[in-house]
Amino acid sequence: MKEPKENFYLLKNADIAANTRLSAKAKRRLAKTKAANTLKAYSSDWSNFVDWCKANGEADLPTTPETIVNYINDLADFLKANTISRRVTAISENHIAAGYARENPAKDGLVRAAMAAIRREKGTFQKGKSPILYDTLRLMADNFGEDMTGIRDKALLLLGFAGAFRRSELVRVKVEDLKFSPEGMTVFIPHSKADQTGKGSTIAIPYAPDESICAVRAVERWLVTAELETGVLFRPFTKNGGRLRDRPLSDKSVALIVKKYVELAGLNAAGFAGHSLRRGFATSAAERDVSALTIMRQTRHRSEKMVHRYIDQGNIFKDNALTRIYGR
């Protein structure tokens, strides 16, 4: 993470720091109320706002509703509504952390009205990455090599699809999180984006009838080939010698591996990324009339809203008026 601005109080909440009744240990723990990725995004958003204020001669902390409105209207020239909304949230959260909860300019009606106008003008539709569907996975399976890299990549991609993993979750899977049984494999996920309290969840991945796309067999083979008994499951190789490193792959590497095999399968890699595996699982399940709750058990979504988007996409041809007119 880039060095945050000095007045980014989400890393050093003013009220908590000034509370003499709290122990140092309690203060350190309270500093972890938000996930690291959330803090990283808010820090970047706040830095952008501070730089804009400096360039326009405005105060950033505390700021005014009018300053925020002028700022987000400049953003509206080139950013999506959802991104602008996150910027406002970052401004709001940092003001709260700095002790301005009661007079939070980001909560002012003028800012809400400006955001409503931007949403109405720009819309809130987010175009996601193309899904790697079940049939796409079969095309990709023909291109996995028999060397260490190919065996690792096959296990990575098949597990990513079967477990509907976010790429950040996938690179954190440890050998100790896996348990094998006659039915297949379970994976314990200790922490995820939707599980901020760290309760953890366990998902089941059965053996696939088609061995070429079986995540369980692919992971078993990777464990044996790489001689892994503990630690992270998916690791990079050294540049010289191709030895396995003792650290996890980066989440960006997942996207690059996805693009590599999508391209080898003859598809345009530009529309695909790490999220394509998770999205592909949900859409493939929806195409086969799997219920939203059953999909959510694997994807670990807390809300049905996004899952229903996948279901709508999966049924876009199935529940189509023309399909019925054509008598199909």
Catalytic entry in 5, 95, 300, 301: 301
Catalytic entry in 86, 119, 193, 308: 193
Q: List, as one string, the DSSP characters of 88-150.
A: HHHHHHHHHHTT-STT-GGGSHHHHHHHHHHHHHH------PPP--HHHHHHHHTT--SSHHH
Helices 148-162, 251-264: axis angle to 10 degrees equals 100
CA atoms 218, 219, 220, 222: torsion sign: positive
Catalytic entry in 95, 166, 172, 300: 166
Catalytic status, residue 310? yes
Catalytic status, residue 166? yes
Catalytic entry in 9, 42, 261, 310: 310
CA dist., res. 107 & res. 94, Å (int): 12
Say if residues 237 and 149 touch (Cβ distance below 8 Å): yes
- Cα–Cα separations (whole angstroms), residue 249 to 78, 188, 310: 33, 19, 28
Catalytic status, residue 193? yes
Catalytic entry in 152, 235, 278, 279: 278
- What are the structure tokens assigned to 88, written together? 């406002």
Give me the amino acid identity at 16: I
- What are the structure tokens assigned to 67, written together? 């300053």
3-state secondary structure of 39: helix
Catalytic entry in 129, 275, 279, 300: 275
**Residues with catalytic function:** 166, 193, 275, 278, 301, 310
